Chains A and B, each alone.
Chain A
Amino acid sequence: MDERSKKLRRLSVDAFAADKRGHIGPTLSLIEILRVLYDDFLKFRPEEPNWPDRDRLILSKGHGCLALYSILADKGYFPEQELTTFCKHDSRLGGHPERGKLPGIEASTGALGHGLPIGVGMALAAKMKGKEYRVVVVTGDGELNEGSVWEAAMSASKHRLSNLIVFVDHNKYQSYGPTQDVLDMGSLAGKWTSFGFSVKEVDGHNVKSLEEIMDQLPLEPQKPTAIICHTIKGKGFPFAEQKADWHHKAGLNDEMINEMYKCLD
């Protein structure tokens, strides 16, 4: 793990430490996906968050918001120090992201299965207005249990939304345990393909591979794209990796927090 990935994780830990809680596993699996999106792919202006031609990113798995808050702070949307207000009474950084509270948040998410329908609406609007902006929706893999995702996927295909790209954080765990045990969805690539998407799979922690994939987007001119990112839930903290009970933790003690920082030294 390079220094940049560690830095972004450290920012998330600053927030975990502040409220002694957070969706730790689902944040850590997301870090590189969002890092490469913001470093290499998305067009945006932190000083003008509502710039009309910006690319839109919807974090549909809203519980991974600390990964998003960390990269947004890193990019200058708000001071990094503000991460330590996470979940406080008057904070702009809630346990799930809210549009209108914090610059850079395109949609309030937290209830799963909402991001893709909203993203389809945004991408269709761009096509109708002849705008060039792209819409990126980042989902979890457990989230794909929701039927609304597949309703929206069919619609994205019908409307040939090549300006819509879905990144699936395929960390193979959901709240109760392994996705394969809770609800085996079979081949995700096969599913997205059959729903009319152009699909590629990638190591979601390999920065170079993610950069290469993003250089190729959209994969086909008349189709929406799905990138299935193979990730590790809790990536970077060996004690939390692929452990269902690290999906969400409350009551984190100083020892645990110190352990997290140590992993990032």
Chain B
Amino acid sequence: MRRVCLNAVHELACESDQVVFIGSDLGPGTLDKMYQEFPDRFIMEGISEQHIIGMSAGMAMEGYIPYVNTIAPFLTRRGYEQIAMDICLHDLPVRLIGNGGGVVYAPLGPTHLATEDIAIMRALPNMTIVAPCDADEMHRFMMKTLEWPHPIYIRLAKGGDEIISRDDLGFEIGKSILMRDPGEHLFISTGVMTQLALQAAERLHSEGILCGVLHMHTIKPLDDEMLFNLLPQLTTIVTVEEHTRIGGLSSAILEFISDCSIKSTPVVRRVGIPDKFSEKYGSQSSLLSHWGIDVDGLCSKMKETINIT
């Protein structure tokens, strides 16, 4: 997914001379082809996240569309004030590409985990947040980024994930995708968690429980229209996110339900990362399983929630 995302920046740079790539001391050879073809628009800066975010704002004020890339926690935490004041307050078309969204860097420990990135980005006015579910969807999404007039935080997963998205379902920023029709039960997921949600829905189906899957690739702005249309038929929602349960997708769904004018609303239960720093290493999947974020955990949570309802 990361490779597809960065190659898409090169593709976009061929299309528009407004596109620039700004990295913060990335790995050797990153986007080498773009560097060869457009050396002026490939800018590799030092380890200086605050600066590159401010710099990207300055370039955007002058008409460029900067794609800024480094590891997600450094990008979102270190330069938070710059993101808020330089990019969001000015509402500039800067694209922040965060490598390793969630717990991709599990073996490297809590310094490298981006488990509250969605929450802190979501709190900023004008920010758009997108977490595609696979490489194909990433490409579809990236092709839409040239025209989007606001800042975007792009959350990357590890890569090599199974392709589950479908071209025929299209892609629009801010519009969710119903990957599997619901009866009265629905998983709502974002990023690669949609992969788990689909697998869980399939398993539950074999047990006679019919669950839909709504892929919320754009967490902000939230697809209110889809939620508003689906809610009346639902009794159960289980949200799934590779993110702390504070402030991310599940919070956005709960806020929507709390604020909407629908009289009878479904029971919502949330699968996500508990409110603590990771104490384990291992792999992304072992860490997620440790917290019950796997197919077994999703199936259990859905059954448990249905029993409540």
Contacts and interface: CB of A to CB of B under 8 A. Distances in A.
A154 B25 CA distance: 14
B55 A155 contact: yes
A117 B46 CA distance: 13
B202 to A, nearest CB: 48
Interface residues of B, number: 28
Interface residues of A, number: 29
Interface in A101-135: 106-108, 110-111, 113-114, 116-126, 128-129
Contact of B59 (A106, A108, A121, A148): A121
A114 B86 contact: yes
Main secondary structure of the interface of A (DSSP, over half): helix
Nearest to B59: A121
B50 A108 contact: no
Nearest to A118: B58
Nearest to B81: A111
A125 B82 contact: no
Interface stretch (B60-68, B152-160, B269-277): B60-68
Contact of B58 (A125, A129, A151): A125
A161 B52 CA distance: 16
Nearest to B63: A125
B89 interface: yes
Nearest to A135: B58
B51 A120 contact: yes
A154 B85 CA distance: 22
A121 B82 contact: no
Nearest to B20: A128
B48 interface: yes
Contact of A155 (B48, B53, B89): B48
Contacts of B52: 117
B85 A111 contact: yes
B142 to A, nearest CB: 22
Given A114-B54, A118-B54, A151 B48 contact: yes
Best-surrounded residue of A99, A106, A111, A114 (most CB of chain B within 10 A): A114
The 3 A-B residue pairs whose C-beta atoms are closest, nearest first, are: A121-B58, A117-B54, A125-B62
Interface of B: 20, 40-41, 43, 45-46, 48, 50-64, 81-82, 85-86, 89-90
